[in-house]
Amino acid sequence: MDSYGTAKYQETNPGLFAIATFPFLFAVMFGDIGHGFIIFSAALYMILAERKLARQDLGEIMGQFFL
């Protein structure tokens, strides 16, 4: 906790705040990476399989994604 400096007498220690919020913020960041990877993988598949998908009847929902 040296990045915050040393708390003076009768000041609040920011270390408790950092300890309480770090796991939550790390979980949010890790979830964003996983979600981004899933979307990237789906987009990459659609790009690589573009010709095959263009010949198929995809239905309404998947057809919207492919347009």
Q: Which residue has the tokens 């995809």?
A: 58
Give the largest Cα separation in the chain, rounded: 73
pLDDT at position 41: 94
The mean per-residue pLDDT over the stretch 47-60 comes to 81
What is the C-alpha separation between 58 and 64, in angstroms, rounded?
Answer: 9
- The answer, as to whether pTM is greater than 0.85, is no
Q: pLDDT digits over 1-49, tens only? A: 456 667 677 877 777 888 888 888 888 877 788 888 898 998 898 889 8
Name the residue type at position 46: M
